[in-house]
Every structure is written in C-alpha cells, then in structure tokens.
Homo-oligomer: A and B are copies of this chain.
Amino acid sequence: MARRAQSIDALIAALNHLPGIGTKTAQRLAYHIIDMDEGDVAHLASTIVDAKHTVKKCRVCQNFTDEELCDICRDPTRDRSTICVVEFPKDVEALERSHGYHGLYHVLHGVISPSKGKSAEDISIDELFERLRTEDIREIILATNPTGDGETTALYLSGLLKNFDLQVSRIGYGLPVGGDLEFYDEVTISTALENRRILK
C-alpha cells in the first residue's frame, strides 16, 4: 500500500490521541483540515494554543477561567455558604445548565483512582480544605460522578469532613450508576440535586 504523506500521518496520529476520536474520524478530520482555507487552519491552531495559554484555574474554586477569580466566585448573588464539589469544569457547566444550584463550586480536576494511580494529592483537595478555613461554609455537596472512582472520592472526602462543623451531602441518585454528569438533561440533574442525601 502506498505511503501516505508524513505530515498527514502525523496529523492523524495527533488527532487520534484525542478522546473519542478513532482512526477513521482522525483521518476524516485530517483530510478536512488539509482542504480548509489557510486562514481557517491558522485560526484553528491558534485557538488551541491560546486556550491552553490563557485559561488558568480560579484561585479559589479551581474552575477554568481567564481571570484571577472566576465569574461564579465573584458573583455577589450566589449563596456563599455552600460548595458543590465536582470532578471537572464540564461538570460545573452541566450543573449551571440545570439552574438547580446557586451556591459555589470546587473543581477537583480528577478523582481518586487507585487503578489509574491517582491519589488524593493529585487532585485539588488541599485547596478545598483551605477554603473551609477561610470561608464561611455551612454545606458541602459531593457531586462527583456515581462511578466507582467518584464514590471512592466522595467517601474519602466525607471521612475528612467529619471533623468540620458543616453539613455534608452526596448528590442524589437520580442518575443511573456508572453515568457521567456531562450527559444528563437539566431535569435529571435538578432532581438529583434536590434528592441529595445527608451524609453527616
């Protein structure tokens, strides 16, 4: 079989590394990119680099932002006594879309996962406890996903939180076990929030 141009192979390989992009899709995207206008290709490449360079973590909640402090942390209308702890920024977006929550967030940027060699030090747990010392928090909602690692992380956090004078709840199971917050509709997410059970 004829050799493909090396730079096409390199592009297909790089795209193939992205999550959910298989070889066929990577190939289709690569050929599409080569057929795009020069300007559009430059734009695509620069948005990738820009996003990586300008996006940082909010000093307080660790959500992605292009400011020192994210919009939610700066919003004076939010309930500042509740923190909803999630795995990733996309989970904040899913919860915001549900319009069922008006408190603050804390983004862990991962879960404790022994199978993937991820421990408590690899995610933003220290930053969460720092907030408990400096902010006036009365409730923590643990909204990690209802997967094995999500449950492990919630259990670990609820253990550490026992020593603090605040209410700790786990997001309600309106979600099928094994699922991912990102893919649920607004009503399911709202219901799950309402049905949260108190852990302590």
Question: For window 53-82 of chain A, which residues contact chain B by CB distance below 8 Å?
Answer: 53-55, 64-67, 70-72, 75
Q: How far is the CA of A41 from the CA of B92 in the complex (A)?
A: 24
CB-nearest residue of chain B relative to A3?
A: B71
Contact B38 A52 (CB under 8 A): yes
- A11-B51, A13-B47, A41-B49 provided; 7 other pairs, C-beta below 8 A? A1-B97, A2-B72, A8-B64, A19-B29, A20-B28, A21-B29, A28-B182
CB < 8 Å neighbour of A7 from B24, B66, B72: B66
A116 within 8 A of B: no
A-B contact list, 26 entries, CB within 8 Å: A2-B70, A2-B96, A4-B93, A5-B66, A6-B66, A7-B47, A7-B50, A7-B51, A7-B53, A7-B66, A8-B51, A14-B43, A14-B47, A15-B44, A19-B29, A19-B32, A21-B29, A31-B89, A34-B55, A34-B64, A35-B109, A41-B49, A41-B52, A44-B48, A45-B45, A45-B48
* Shortest Cβ-Cβ A-B pairs, 3 listed: A5-B66, A11-B51, A45-B45
A157 within 8 A of B: no
**Residues of A bordering B, CB below 8 Å:** 1-8, 10-11, 13-15, 17-21, 24-25, 27-36, 38, 40-55, 64-67, 70-72, 75, 88-90, 92-93, 96-97, 99, 109, 182-183
CB-nearest residue of chain B relative to A64?
A: B5
- Min Cβ gap A101→B in Å is 11
Stoichiometry, as copies per complex, reads 2
- Min Cβ gap A160→B in Å is 25
CB-nearest residue of chain B relative to A53?
A: B7
